[in-house]
């Protein structure tokens, strides 16, 4: 358990108008002379994004050692996600101590910190491909669908649940192509139009930040013109990693605002769902961008991912929530990390997540408290972290059901192996003992079920969704 998790620590957050407004990026050697106007230009941010360790070394110079760069290179060779860092993020990372920096941990793997994947890890951990009636559209819940309109982002997160598709190919993963494509979009929109039960559409990817303004308007208005669609959510990590786009790419922001206003006239909600994980991601630039969206009547909600050494202690997570509320961003979900390859060093256990939730709840008003959830492996959807059918803290197996999503199925999650006793970690390496631990867990959760199925994807080791007989 994180050493500060159990401490009740008063949380100090910047008051309105007090988020950092210094020229923080000028601490980077290559950007010492970059003015505020230049740095806050969204085109400059795109043109100066970092895509590899060579460029990183060139930009940060002697702030990091050669050994650190080599450690990053070793991490990237094993990572399912390519690297892409916005200059905004690079400027916020503490390069004097990059190993412990919570922003670096989210985006740059280092080989020395990587741990063996849990046997439950799959390339598509929540089975989005399996629940897709047409490419790039996931229809899992009765009245909601996920529309993946692109496969690129302003940055690439190590922990991305869509490592099967997002970004460029890596040494270990050839990506499913979900790029901008009119024919694919038309097929998805036709499906949504034909399924009258669909009221809520999440437009994601990739990231809608990377769509052109006309794409935002086309997709938004097409969806608004479908009578039974009542809500649209545009999903983007952009405000956390490139907030200046909202301020300086006026065509994009105007397109989003136009769709929001069109929805309001139809009495339909159009909102933005974003993704802040740490208070240091929030600056005065963020504040200005969020105030602009607030002034235009745009509802913004946040979905964070709980990560070891990033936001898994009470003080940091509480401060994150409070900072968000100061910007009128509504905390929505706090996810336990999905079973993604290459992030075992970032994952937390269900037990620690339960304790974190216990301390955060009550520290701020209920409507500003996120719901702590697990996205059930194998396609069970989001489940309250407390709602397991069975949780064995010794083996680390938790079992969830989703009767309104997939009746008669059980879904298993595995705690990080490092959190388990040595003899249990050893047992996970033995297929016979592993099968027995799984059998005991699913029997304890509700009787005998057939053994878990194996995903057809070669990279996937195990599909932890178990159907009831």
Summarize pLDDT for 136-162 with one digit per residue, the tens: 999 999 999 999 999 999 999 999 999
Cβ burial, residue 406 (10 Å; 0-12/13-18/19+): buried
62 is catalytic: no
Q: Has 153 been annotated as catalytic?
A: yes
Tokens of 328: 């009128």
Average pLDDT for 268-281: 98
Q: The tokens 């192996």 sit on which residue?
A: 417
Active site residue 338: yes
The whole-number pLDDT of residue 11 equals: 66
Catalytic (active site) residue 144: yes
> Strand pairing of 390-392 and 397-401?
antiparallel
- How many whole angstroms separate alpha carbon 138 and alpha carbon 305? 21
For the question of residue 323 being annotated catalytic, the response is no
With a cut of 60, say whether residue 455 has pLDDT above it. Answer: no
Our separate counts of H helices and E strands in the chain read 16, 13
Q: Contacts for 423-427 with beta carbons within 8 Å, 24 or more apart?
A: 424/394, 424/395, 424/396, 427/395
Which tokens go with 217? 């308007």
Q: What percent of the chain has pLDDT over 90?
A: 90
What are the Cα distances from residue 461, in Å, to 12, 324, 457?
Answer: 44, 38, 8
Please, what's the b/e burial string for 321-340 (b: 16 or more CB within 10 A of its CB; e: otherwise)? bbbbbbbebbbbbbbbbbbb
Read off the DSSP letter of residue 276. -
- Residue 10: per-residue pLDDT: 60
The domain spans of the chain are 24-109, 137-393
Q: Looking at 132-207, which runs of residues are DSSP E strands?
A: 137-138, 144-148, 200-204
pLDDT digits (tens, 9 = 90+) for 172-220: 899 999 999 999 999 999 999 999 999 999 999 999 999 999 999 999 9
- The residue from 40, 160, 323, 460 that is catalytic is 160
239-249: average pLDDT: 98
Which residue among the candidates 323, 375, 406, 449 is catalytic per the annotation? 375
pTM: 0.93
Return phi, psi of residue 228, to 5°. -80, -10
Catalytic site residue from 41, 131, 151, 338: 338
Question: Of 306, 440, 446, 452, which Cα lies nearest the Cα of 379?
Answer: 452
Tell me if residue 40 is catalytic.
Answer: no
Q: What is the CATH number of domain 137-393?
A: 3.20.20.70
Provide the pLDDT confidence category of residue 18 given band limits of 50, 70 and 90. Answer: confident
Out of 162, 175, 184, 322, the active site residue is: 162
Local structure of 138: helix, strand or coil: strand
Helix axes 182-194, 213-224, angle to 10 degrees: 20
Check if the beta carbon of residue 308 is closer than 8 Å to that of residue 316: no
Give the lowest-confidence range in 10-19, 50-59, 382-391, 421-430: 10-19
* Cα separation, 450 vs 122, whole angstroms: 19
| Percent of the chain clearing pLDDT 70 (strictly above) | 92
- Is residue 467 over pLDDT 60? no
Q: What is the pLDDT of residues 408-454, one digit of tens each?
A: 999 999 999 999 999 999 999 999 999 999 999 999 998 644 333 33
pLDDT in tens, 85-129: 999 999 999 999 999 999 999 999 999 999 999 999 999 999 999
pLDDT digits (tens, 9 = 90+) for 300-316: 999 999 999 999 999 99
Active site annotation includes 382: yes
Catalytic annotation, pick one of 99, 117, 141, 191: 141
Is the pLDDT higher at 1 or at 371?
371
Is residue 16 pLDDT above 70, yes or no? no
What's the chain's Rg over C-alpha atoms?
Answer: 22
pLDDT band at 14 (very low <50, low <70, confident <90, very high): confident
Residues near 253 by beta carbon (within 8 Å), at least 6 away in sequence: 245, 246, 247, 292, 293
DSSP string across 374-431: EEETTTTEEEETT--SEEETTTTEEEEE-TTTSTTEEEEEE--GGGS-HHHHHHHTSH
| DSSP assignment string, 121-179 | --SSTT-TTTT-SBTTEE--STTEEEEE--S--SS--TT-TTTTTSSS-BTTBPPPP--
Q: Look at 109-113, 346-350, 358-362 and tell me which has the smallest mean pLDDT.
A: 358-362
Of the residues 101, 151, 153, 352, only one is catalytic, namely 153
pLDDT of residue 353: 97
> Catalytic one among 175, 382, 383, 449?
382
**Confidence at residue 469, expressed as pLDDT on a 0 to 100 scale:** 31
Give yes or no: 157 in active site: yes
Report yes or no: 345 and 301 within 8 Å, Cβ to Cβ. Answer: no
Strands across the sheet with 381-384, in order?
137-138, 144-148, 200-204, 231-235, 269-274, 299-306, 329-336, 371-376, 381-384
């Amino acid at each position: 358990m994180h050493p500060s998790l159990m401490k009740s620590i008063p949380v100090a957050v910047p008051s309105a108008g007090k988020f950092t407004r210094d020229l923080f990026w000028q601490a980077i050697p290559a950007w010492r002379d970059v003015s505020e106007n230049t740095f806050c230009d969204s085109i400059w941010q795109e043109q100066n994004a970092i895509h590899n360790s060579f460029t990183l070394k060139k930009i940060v110079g002697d702030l990091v050692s050669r050994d650190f760069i080599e450690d990053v290179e070793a991490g990237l060779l094993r990572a399912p996600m390519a690297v892409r860092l916005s200059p905004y993020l690079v400027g916020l990372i503490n390069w004097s101590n990059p190993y412990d920096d919570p922003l670096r941990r989210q985006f740059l793997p280092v080989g020395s910190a990587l741990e063996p994947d849990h046997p439950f890890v799959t390339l598509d951990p929540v089975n989005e491909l399996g629940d897709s009636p047409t490419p790039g559209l996931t229809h899992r819940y009765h009245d909601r669908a996920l529309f993946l309109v692109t496969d690129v982002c302003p940055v690439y997160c190590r922990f991305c649940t869509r490592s099967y598709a997002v970004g460029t190919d890596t040494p270990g993963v050839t990506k499913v192509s979900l790029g901008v494509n009119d024919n694919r979009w038309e097929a998805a929109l036709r499906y949504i139009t034909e399924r009258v039960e669909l009221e809520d559409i999440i437009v994601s990817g990739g990231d809608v930040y990377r769509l052109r303004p006309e794409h935002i308007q086309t997709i938004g208005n097409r969806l608004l013109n479908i009578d039974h669609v009542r809500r649209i959510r545009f999903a983007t990590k952009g405000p956390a990693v490139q907030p200046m786009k909202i301020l300086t790419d006026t065509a994009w922001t105007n397109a989003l605002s136009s769709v929001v206003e069109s929805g309001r006239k139809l009495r339909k909600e159009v909102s933005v769902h974003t993704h802040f994980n740490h208070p240091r991601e929030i600056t005065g630039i963020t504040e200005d961008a969020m105030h602009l969206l607030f002034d235009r009547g745009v509802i913004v909600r946040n979905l964070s991912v709980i990560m070891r050494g990033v936001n898994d202690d009470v003080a940091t997570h509480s401060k994150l929530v409070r900072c968000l509320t100061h910007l009128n961003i509504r905390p929505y979900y706090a996810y336990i990390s999905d079973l993604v390859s290459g992030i075992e060093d970032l994952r937390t256990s269900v037990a620690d997540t339960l304790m974190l939730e216990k301390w955060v709840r009550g520290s701020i008003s209920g409507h500003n408290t996120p719901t702590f959830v697990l996205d059930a492996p194998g396609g069970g959807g989001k489940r309250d972290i407390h709602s397991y059918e069975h949780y064995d803290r010794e083996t680390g197996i938790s079992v969830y059901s989703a009767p309104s999503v997939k009746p008669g199925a059980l879904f298993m999650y595995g705690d990080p192996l490092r959190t388990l006793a040595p003899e249990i970690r050893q047992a996970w390496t033995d297929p016979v003992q592993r099968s027995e631990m799984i059998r005991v867990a699913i029997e304890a959760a509700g009787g005998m079920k057939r053994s878990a199925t194996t995903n057809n994807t070669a990279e996937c080791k195990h599909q932890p969704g178990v159907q009831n007989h």
